[in-house]
Amino acid sequence: MEALTWSPQMSLGIVEMDNAHKALIQELTEIMMAPDHEFTARLQHIVALLETDFREEETLMERMNYPELRAHRQEHADLLSTLHHVTPKAMSGDYVLPRQVLNMLPQWFLNHLVRMDAALVKALNSAGTGGASHAVATAL
């Protein structure tokens, strides 16, 4: 896996989102170094973490009638679908494809952060909601 570490350049300026992103980076680092006997449980944890984070983000976008909701939601769904398809392989002891998928996740994350999440934060800040951080905290 290409090493992915949190840096200030990744910050979106919303504490809740930044903390979720930091947690995901930490989980990715840990799962890729985990031995096979720990892999499945860690994979299931990452999937659950992403499902929760994506659901909260999508609820926020719904509440603000975000015009890019559909595209943003589709990107989330595509990733979750992929993870849901490889999880049973890991559960049956086949770790090759699940590890390959997770190797691609850092690049997916960086692309999503730059293209999707940064645009969402910009829209939140422009919406006059009293600040993006307030809007996220209210939605969560």
Q: Residues 6 or more apart from 98 whose CB is under 8 A from it?
A: 39, 43, 86, 87, 89, 90
Could you tell me which of 109, 106, 89, 113 has the C-alpha nearest to residue 29?
Answer: 106
Instruction: Give Cα separations from 5 to 15, 37, 118 (angstroms).
Output: 17, 25, 18
| Torsions phi, psi for 76 (to 5 deg) | -60, -50
What is the percentage of the chain residues whose pLDDT exceeds 70?
Answer: 89
Q: Is the pLDDT of residue 38 over 90?
A: yes
Q: pLDDT band for position 140 (50/70/90)?
A: very low
Task: List, as one string, the DSSP characters of 46-98.
Answer: HHHHHHHHHHHHHHHHHHTT-TTHHHHHHHHHHHHHHHHHHHHHHHTT--HHH
Greatest extent of the chain over all pairs of C-alpha atoms, in Å:
50
The pLDDT value given to residue 138? 45
| pTM of the predicted protein model | 0.84
Q: pLDDT band for position 71 (50/70/90)?
A: very high
Could you tell me which of 48, 24, 51 has the C-alpha nearest to residue 110?
Answer: 24
By mean pLDDT, which of 16-20, 102-106, 117-121 is the weakest?
Answer: 16-20
Q: pLDDT band for position 83 (50/70/90)?
A: very high
Q: pLDDT band for position 102 (50/70/90)?
A: very high
Instruction: Give Cα separations from 7 to 4, 18, 27 (angstroms).
Output: 9, 10, 16
Q: pLDDT band for position 63 (50/70/90)?
A: very high
**Higher model confidence: residue 15 or residue 47?**
47
